[in-house]
Amino acid sequence: MVETDQIVVSLAHSPDSDDLVMWWPLIGVRGADGSPIEGDLGRPQVDTGRFRFELVARDVEELNRLVVGGEDVYDITAISCAAYPAIQDRYAVTRCGGSFGEGYGPKVVVRADSRFETLEDLRGAGARVAVPGVNTSAFMALSMAAGSFRHQAMLFSEIPAAVSNGGFDAGLLIHEAQLTFGEMGLRQIGDMGVWWEADTGMALPLGLNVVARSLDERHGRGTVKEISRILKDSVDCSIAMGEASRMYLQLNKGERTEWDDPELVDQYLAMYVSDLTVDMGSRGLGAMRAFLGRGHAEGLCADTGAIVLADDWEIER
């Protein structure tokens, strides 16, 4: 099949390193301007069949808002696990590509000289907490742990500075800031993955990837399952080709100088590209059900009912 005959499929992901690493095999190693590098690595490293993938990096809360708002802007999109109940009738979850906190997770930080010491101190109106979005799993987990608290949503990358300069009393950190906040004079008062595991004994579901069920209507029965298999191949390939994955990160780091530290990148990828990322399996599904079930019980999300998996779903004849 020549490229002009391929069906274009859009895939939106967050700009953090684990998402960038997982999907580059679908398009090949490319620079920040979108141009492929010379040689074999500049081409897709997995068989994409009748599809040609177009990747878009956007803030995960922005993606949450788009999909929760009813817009099927992207055929495949990253979302926060907490956002899934609002879109379960339109999208199916892939078993691969998810992020789980296994004894670690989003961090709650304050200034070193802050009077706040525990998550309980944040309850009520006594603290101003910067959060990376009200649809994120991090926010839902903190709401479970701390109850109601005063908060303001902002871009995840702006939160450390907002706390450091005194604009907010505390901040909820996601992505690589979970590893670098100490450099800004901040200290941790809570880890949502630690809290969740102590409370449930499970991994904390954070990010998911979902596929629009309408793809079966547009391109034939079984399309969602077909795409899910290709995505799994991409995750497997990105792990197997670690050196190329790191090259891709360096070419697309932009202003993220933290990616110049190979030890930090390796540490972050080891945290969020795990066995559960390759296939969430029954352990990941069980964690999702427990997290969303508790969220529903506490009025933080809708009832999910059954979790629809892309690997198993097909439109009815």
Which residues carry out catalysis? 175
Query: CA-CA-CA-CA torsion for 112, 113, 119, 124, nearest 10 degrees?
Result: -140
Residue whose C-alpha is closest to residue 265's, from 284, 248, 277, 240: 248
For residue 179, give both structure tokens. 């590893």
Residue whose C-alpha is closest to residue 64's, from 49, 79, 81: 79
What's the farthest any 2 CA atoms get from each other in the chain? Answer: 64
CB neighbourhood size of 9 (10 A) = 22
Q: Which residue has the tokens 């991090």?
A: 138
Burial of 117 (0-12, 13-18, 19+ CB in 10 A): exposed
CB neighbourhood size of 124 (10 A) = 11
Amino acid identity, position 204: L
Write the CB contacts of 285 (distance below 8 Å, at least 6 apart in sequence).
307
Cα 250 from Cα 264, distance rounded (Å): 13
| Adjacent-strand bridge partners of 207 | 80, 99
Cα 24 from Cα 238, distance rounded (Å): 7
Helix (H) or strand (E) holding 107: strand 107-111
Residue whose C-alpha is closest to residue 174's, from 104, 86, 125, 118: 104
Write the CB contacts of 249 (distance below 8 Å, at least 6 apart in sequence).
17, 20, 21, 259, 265
